């Protein structure tokens, strides 16, 4: 039986998606249900003074208008609203009171027999507000920012080492700069939506767009004081999320609130504009200073991040300490400050903290290489560290040198002329830039249930989500190989709160974690099969132990004598067993002696019109070291998507705020610029062989985040090489070059 793990396998859910068979949150049938249209606040801060819903209620087909004044009871303690990844503070509570915390805040929900009626009636709701002064400009609030302790980070802030300030002052070569990354929005294809089915017995089935069904279930049960058996959350397919679906978004709370109020099924779908008020990658100012000896040895690194958060929560991610995990330097200091703004709480967006922090670090490294008159790749070789210096420990594996070598060879880096503006093709300047990428290789506890039936088919169940990353497929591959079954004999059940426990899908931890759980569950099933084979009439397996057999080609096979085998279906039939069911969890072994990371080397080519300043990314080569690759086909797709997102970060994406109104101005996909086909050139993905026997039994690391890290920096460095102009604030647009 050919190995399925590591084979380039097409998505098992692909046909369902392209034919429309896959059902998303807004598509589930809700007979007799109502449609909800959300009314949002036009002001950024203040109070609701008066709500007049009479005109809306007078529209034919309108059933009700819900606000904070007539909603069903909701829990009033902050703890009751907490979800698995809530940052410190007091989570936003839709319809909780008359306070306005940000522009776009939901203030009313119109329920009607169809969407068009609900939306029209929503425009007829009249609300008077009392405005209060607001602040939405990060740069203007930087003097009011406060320092966040390392304990408040999802990834803790590393401790300083040495005396970075003194070492920087003594360094013969220094570079320091502010790097600005604006607010960026996720804009997944699928709108955020929730369809709540109100069943005859009063129980609720909530179809929600989310990255964590059990997280949403816990949240809703806490908010509305329901028992888990009274509310089930389902999300089998997710049309993109990458962080925006980690926390429960307000539409699911409103849909459940409405279903409880009217005792009918309710569907709430947000508009694209309303989604801009959900959350976003926070704007940050990254201040990086590097000091080096004349030979390129790093002598000092300081990285201070200033980021935005809301008035009611303190959201932060680790922007500033990645240098300690990448480069050798005895003197380093890090800081992270937050400025409170009258905007929604930011959230995770692909490679949170690393995408922004590593952008600044890698641009600063390029500037240092220029000052040293040293090749940027050579500088990174000289600063290479085999230890995570933040912790003083080695990595479980680190094939970054191989990433540099293979990526540079594929790109042709050796042909690079180091002088800016030295490479040209007609009226276009050609620039080559590179950067390093890094992300954490995490594992979380997942539980998996495998049910093997007498017909030789298996069902694998876990409450985790598939947000388009290929989770259905890698789970199918892993289970099929471990159970010795054809791929088509394995069915995967995901995205249901009634299934075995799983955390939210994020942080690139799902693949490594769930495969480990599948392995343990499959071993338990194998043990049961061996026991059945041993006591089956006329068995030749009486003396064999589970560790002495394997499952392959639908058979139980002795490892000592391949001729000693039996069909799984025959064994179960002869013993009269219709079903074997076992549930097991990921076994995470605590290891404080090793750092766990994925790494990459990104090389980019840009062409810049010498007269107009128009930038095109024509080539990207990215070499990834991420342990064992479970499925090269879906893995390559993940990295391609990350690179395209990095192109958007570098050249296109920017959410603009009108600070007079405290409102996002380009809250649509016409004016929020993202790369399209014409903006994306050739992308080559190289998976570097990296054997890791320490991180987990399969040597697997995640891939969802690493694809974007370093891409924006490589492009920015290429733009400098092409033009001789250093642009430190993203996105790099033609007006910044002229």
As annotated, the active-site residues are 705
What's the residue count for the chain?
738
Selection from 344, 313, 348, 312 nearest residue 155 by Cα:
348
Angle at 635 between CA 629 and CA 641, to 5 degrees: 150
Contact of 414 with 697, CB cutoff 8 Å: no
Give the CA angle between residues 478, 482, 483 to the nearest 5°.
115
Phi, psi of 372 (to 5 degrees): -85, -5
3-state secondary structure 11-63: CCCHHHHHHCCCCCHHHCCCCCCEEEEEEECCCCCEEEEEEECHHHHCCCCEE
Query: How open is the CA angle 105-109-112, to the nearest 5 degrees?
Result: 150
CB-CB contact of 286 with 261 (8 Å): no
Do the beta carbons of residue 682 and residue 332 sit within 8 Å? no
CB contact set of 144 (below 8 Å; sequence gap of 6+): 339, 340
Q: What is the DSSP letter of 150?
A: G
> Which token pair is 665?
């101005």
Q: Which residue has the tokens 């490589």?
A: 714
* CA atoms within a 13 Å half-sphere pointing along the CA-CB vector of 135: 15
Q: Please give the biggest Cα pair distance in the chain.
A: 85
Cβ-Cβ contacts under 8 Å for 158 (sequence gap 6 or more): 150, 321, 324, 332, 334, 390, 391
Q: At CB < 8 A and 24+ separation, what contacts does 196-203 make?
A: 196/30, 196/255, 196/256, 196/258, 196/259, 196/265, 196/266, 196/267, 197/28, 197/30, 197/33, 197/265, 198/33, 198/259, 198/263, 198/264, 198/265, 198/266, 202/230, 202/263, 203/229, 203/230, 203/231, 203/232
CA separation for the pair 528, 434 (Å, rounded)? 53
Beta pairing, strands 579-585 & 393-394: unpaired
CB 122 within 8 A of CB 292: no
Phi and psi of 578, rounded to 5°? -90, -25
258-to-216, 250, 262 alpha-carbon distances in Å: 17, 12, 6
User: Could you give the strand order of the β-sheet that contains 46-52, starting from the edge strand earlier in sequence?
Assistant: 99-100, 46-52, 126-131
Alpha-carbon Rg for the chain, nearest whole angstrom, is 27
Burial of 73: CB neighbours in 10 Å, binned 0-12, 13-18, 19+: exposed
Under 8 Å between Cβ of 547 and 536: no
Tokens of 650: 């570098």
* CB-neighbour burial class of residue 579 (10 A; exposed 0-12, middle 13-18, buried 19+): exposed
Strand ranges in 97-239 using DSSP code E only, listed in sequence order: 99-100, 106-112, 126-131, 146-147, 173-181, 193-198, 204-208, 231-234
Query: What's the gap between Cα 517 and its chain centre?
Result: 21
DSSP letter for 87, please.
Answer: P
Say how far apart CA 352 and CA 305 lie, in whole Å.
13
């Amino acid at each position: 039986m050919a190995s399925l793990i590591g084979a380039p396998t097409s998505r098992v859910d692909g046909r369902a998606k392209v034919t429309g068979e896959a059902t998303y949150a807004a598509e589930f049938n809700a007979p007799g249900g109502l449609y909800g249209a959300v009314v949002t606040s036009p002001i950024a801060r203040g109070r609701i003074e008066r709500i007049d819903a009479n005109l809306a209620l007078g529209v034919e087909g309108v059933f009700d208008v819900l606000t904070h004044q007539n909603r069903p009871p909701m829990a009033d303690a902050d703890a009751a609203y907490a979800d698995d990844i809530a940052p410190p503070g007091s989570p936003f509570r839709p319809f909780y009171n008359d306070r306005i915390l940000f522009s776009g805040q939901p203030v009313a929900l119109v329920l009607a027999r169809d969407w068009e009626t609900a939306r029209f009636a929503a425009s007829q709701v009249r609300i008077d507000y009392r405005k209060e002064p607001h602040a939405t400009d990060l740069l203007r609030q930087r003097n009011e920012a406060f320092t966040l302790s390392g304990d408040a980070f999802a990834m803790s802030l590393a401790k300083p080492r040495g005396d970075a300030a003194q070492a920087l002052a003594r360094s013969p070569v220094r570079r320091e700069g502010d790097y600005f990354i604006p607010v960026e929005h996720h804009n997944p294809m699928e709108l955020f939506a929730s369809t709540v089915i109100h069943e005859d017995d009063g129980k609720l089935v909530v179809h929600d767009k989310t990255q964590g069904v059990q997280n949403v279930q816990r949240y809703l049960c806490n908010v509305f004081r329901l028992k888990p058996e009274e509310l089930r959350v389902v999300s089998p397919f997710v049309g993109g999320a990458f962080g925006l679906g980690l926390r429960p978004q307000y539409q699911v709370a409103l849909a459940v609130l409405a279903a409880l109020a009217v005792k009918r099924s309710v569907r709430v779908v947000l508009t694209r504009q309303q989604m801009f008020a959900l959350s976003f990658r926070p704007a940050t100012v990254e201040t990086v200073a590097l000091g080096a000896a004349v030979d390129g040895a790093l002598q000092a690194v300081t990285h201070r991040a200033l980021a935005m958060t809301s008035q009611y929560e303190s959201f932060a991610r680790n922007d500033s300490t990645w240098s300690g995990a990448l480069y050798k330097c005895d003197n380093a200091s890090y800081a992270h400050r937050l400025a409170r703004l009258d905007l929604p709480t930011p959230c995770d967006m692909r490679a949170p903290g690393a995408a922004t922090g590593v952008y600044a670090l890698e641009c600063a490294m390029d500037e240092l290489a220029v000052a040293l008159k040293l090749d940027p790749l050579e500088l990174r070789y000289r600063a290479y560290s085999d230890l995570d210096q933040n912790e003083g420990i080695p990595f479980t594996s680190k094939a970054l040198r191989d990433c540099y070598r293979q990526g540079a060879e594929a790109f042709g880096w050796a042909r690079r002329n180091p002088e800016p503006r030295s490479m040209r093709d007609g009226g276009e300047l050609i620039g080559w830039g590179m950067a390093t990428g890094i992300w954490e290789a995490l594992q979380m506890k997942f539980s998996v249930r495998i049910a093997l039936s007498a017909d030789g088919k298996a069902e694998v169940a876990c409450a985790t989500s598939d947000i388009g990353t290929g989770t259905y497929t890698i789970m199918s591959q892993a289970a099929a190989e471990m159970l010795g079954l054809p791929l088509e004999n394995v069915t995967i059940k995901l995205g249901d709160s009634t299934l075995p426990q799983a955390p939210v899908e994020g942080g690139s931890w799902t693949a490594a974690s769930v495969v480990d759980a599948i392995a343990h569950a499959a071993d338990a099933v194998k043990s049961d099969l061996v026991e059945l084979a041993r006591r089956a009439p006329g068995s030749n397996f009486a003396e064999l132990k589970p560790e002495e057999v394997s499952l392959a080609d639908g058979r139980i096979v002795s490892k000592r004598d391949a001729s000693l085998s039996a069909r799984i279906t025959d064994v179960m039939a002869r013993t009269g067993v219709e079903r074997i069911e076992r549930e097991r969890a990921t076994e995470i072994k605590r290891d404080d002696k090793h750092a766990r990371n994925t790494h990459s080397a990104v090389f980019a080519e840009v062409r810049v019109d010498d007269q107009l300043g128009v930038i095109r990314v024509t080539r990207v080569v990215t070499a990834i070291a991420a342990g064992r690759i479970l499925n090269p086909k879906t893995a390559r797709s993940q990295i391609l998507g990350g690179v395209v997102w990095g192109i958007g970060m570098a050249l296109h994406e920017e959410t603009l705020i009108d600070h007079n109104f405290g409102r996002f101005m380009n809250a649509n996909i016409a004016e929020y610029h993202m790369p399209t086909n014409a903006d994306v050139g050739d992308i080559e993905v190289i998976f570097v062989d990296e054997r890791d026997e320490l991180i987990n039994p399969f040597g697997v690391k995640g891939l969802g985040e690493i694809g974007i890290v370093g891409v924006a920096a490589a492009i920015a460095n290429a733009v400098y090489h092409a033009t001789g102009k250093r642009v430190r604030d993203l996105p790099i647009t033609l007006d910044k070059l002229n």
